[in-house]
Amino acid sequence: LAKTTQPISMDSYEGQEVNITCSHNNIATNDYITWYQQFPSQGPRFIIQGYKTKVTNEVASLFIPADRKSSTLSLPRVSLSDTAVYYCLVGDVFTGGGNKLTFGTGTQLKVEL
Amino acid sequence: DAMVIQNPRYQVTQFGKPVTLSCSQTLNHNVMYWYQQKSSQAPKLLFHYYDKDFNNEADTPDNFQSRRPNTSFCFLDIRSPGLGDAAMYLCATSRDAGQNSYNEQFFGPGTRLTVL
């Protein structure tokens, strides 16, 4: 499985755009890129997933360059409630069904007033 | 609302005393997963069920077992908990939509296990 590397922590202020970049140099052809958010004492929550180019949903955008060796999660206008750990995952489907998720270290985002 | 439920939220056990954690889901997903998350670490996959087929991760200790009696329920059994097994245990589900699909996992709130 492709290993991911992302910053351990980031700080931001309310109303700013936050971009968290993840490196996955050994990504395989079948791998998707997925981001999860985790608050303390809660399970991770799916944010966004992509394979290539750009994906946007109601909470975030995901930018993936053509070589797919990195990806950037963009959070527009963050608020205090966006303070959480953000995990970048590169995964594939299991043979026989299910999705293989290998969590990296994650990025602790802290948003201040 | 459809969801993943874990009971109990907090579990205290004694060193060496077997403990069972439970997970149920109303999503009717065919895949269920168990993760272990230690303090300040990322979740680590222990095993998963695809329908009734059990799939163990290579580095999951034998001390950890699982049962899935039906689609909705999945149990994590720790046969002889050690101090190092104190962690948050997360259950997750996903719907396998076939080859070349990749679907999100839905996580429960977790059970925090304390070993005395």
Mean pLDDT computed over A3-29: 94
Confidence label for A103 from pLDDT (cuts 50, 70 and 90) = confident
- Interface A–B counts its CB contacts (< 8 A) at 73
Contacts with B, A 22-81, CB within 8 Å: 30, 32, 34, 41-46, 49
Encode burial over B79-100: b for 16+ CB neighbours within 10 A, e otherwise. Answer: eebeeebbbbbbbbbbbbeeee
CATH fold of B4-109, please? Answer: Immunoglobulin-like (2.60.40)
Which residue in B has a C-alpha nearest to residue A47's C-alpha?
B104
Asked whether the predicted pLDDT for residue A92 surpasses 80, the reply is no
Confidence label for A98 from pLDDT (cuts 50, 70 and 90) = low
Q: What is the pLDDT of residue B98?
A: 62
Inter-CA distances, A10 with A4, A36, A54, B72, Å? 17, 16, 23, 39
For the segment A61-73, what is each residue's pLDDT rounded down to a tens digit?
999 999 999 999 9
* Interchain contact, B96 vs A103, CB within 8 Å: no
Give me the domains of chain A, ranges plus CATH numbers.
Answer: 9-112 (2.60.40.10)
For chain A, how far is it from start to end, CA to CA, in angstroms? Answer: 38
* Interchain contact, A101 vs B88, CB within 8 Å: no
Confidence label for A7 from pLDDT (cuts 50, 70 and 90) = very high
Identity at A61, one-letter amino acid code = S
pLDDT along chain B (116 residues), means of 10: 88 97 95 94 92 91 96 97 97 77 84 97
* Interchain contact, B104 vs A100, CB within 8 Å: no
Gap between the Cα atoms of A36 and A44, Å rounded: 6
Q: A99: part of which helix (H) or strand (E)? A: strand A99-100
